[in-house]
Structure 1
Amino acid sequence: MACGDDDLAEGFRSAPVALALSRHRIIQACNRAFAALFRAEADALAGRSLALIYPSVDAFADVVEHWLGPLRDGAEFADERFMKRGDGDVFWCRVAGRSLTPADPLARAVWSFAELPTPPHLDQALSRRERDVACHVARGRTSKEIAKLMGLSPRTVEGHRLRLMRKLKVSNAAELNVRMGGGVI
Structure 2
Amino acid sequence: MNDFPEIDYQVIFEHAPIGMCVSKNRVMQVCNAALTSMFGYAREQLNGQSFQILYPTPDEFERTGARIVPIMSAKGTYSDERIMRRADGELFWCHVIGHTLVPENTHAAGIWTFEDLSSKRKASAELSPREREIAALLVEGKTSKLIGKQIGLSPRTVEMHRANLMKKFAAATSSELVHRLLGMVHDH
Alignment correspondent of 2:142:
none
Q: Which aligned runs of 4 or more in structure 1 are off by greater than 3 angstroms?
A: 1-4, 117-120, 129-134, 136-141, 164-167
Alignment correspondent of 1:22:
23
State whether structure 2 residue 78 is matched by structure 1 residue 81: no
Alignment correspondent of 1:134:
131
After TM superposition, the score normalised by the length of structure 1 is 0.68
Whether the aligned pair in 2 keeps the contact of 1:91 and 1:118 (CA below 8 Å) is no
Percent identity (aligned): 27
Alpha-carbon distance between aligned partners in 2 of 1:95 and 1:137, rounded to the nearest angstrom: 16
Alpha-carbon distance between aligned partners in 2 of 1:12 and 1:34, rounded to the nearest angstrom: 11
Structure 2 unaligned regions, length at least 5: 136-146, 154-162, 183-188
2:52 is aligned with what amino acid?
A
1:97 is aligned with what amino acid?
G
Alpha-carbon distance between aligned partners in 2 of 1:23 and 1:30, rounded to the nearest angstrom: 12
Deviation for aligned residue 1:167: 4.2
1:96-107 equivalences under 5 Å are: 96-107=97-108
Q: Secondary structure at the match of 1:69?
A: helix
Alpha-carbon distance between aligned partners in 1 of 2:62 and 2:170, rounded to the nearest angstrom: 31
Q: Secondary structure at the match of 1:130?
A: coil
Alpha-carbon distance between aligned partners in 2 of 1:79 and 1:53, rounded to the nearest angstrom: 15
Alpha-carbon distance between aligned partners in 1 of 2:73 and 2:133, rounded to the nearest angstrom: 27
Alpha-carbon distance between aligned partners in 2 of 1:69 and 1:137, rounded to the nearest angstrom: 19
Alignment correspondent of 1:33:
34
Aligned length: 156
Alignment correspondent of 2:60:
59
1:117-128 equivalences under 5 Å are: 117=118, 123=122, 126=124, 128=125
Structure 1 unaligned regions, length at least 5: 142-160
Deviation for aligned residue 1:135: 1.3
State whether structure 2 residue 72 is matched by structure 1 residue 71: yes
Whether the aligned pair in 2 keeps the contact of 1:71 and 1:105 (CA below 8 Å) is yes
**CA RMSD for the aligned pairs?**
3.6
After TM superposition, the score normalised by the length of structure 2 is 0.67
Alignment correspondent of 1:42:
43
Alignment correspondent of 2:156:
none
Q: Secondary structure at the match of 1:87?
A: coil
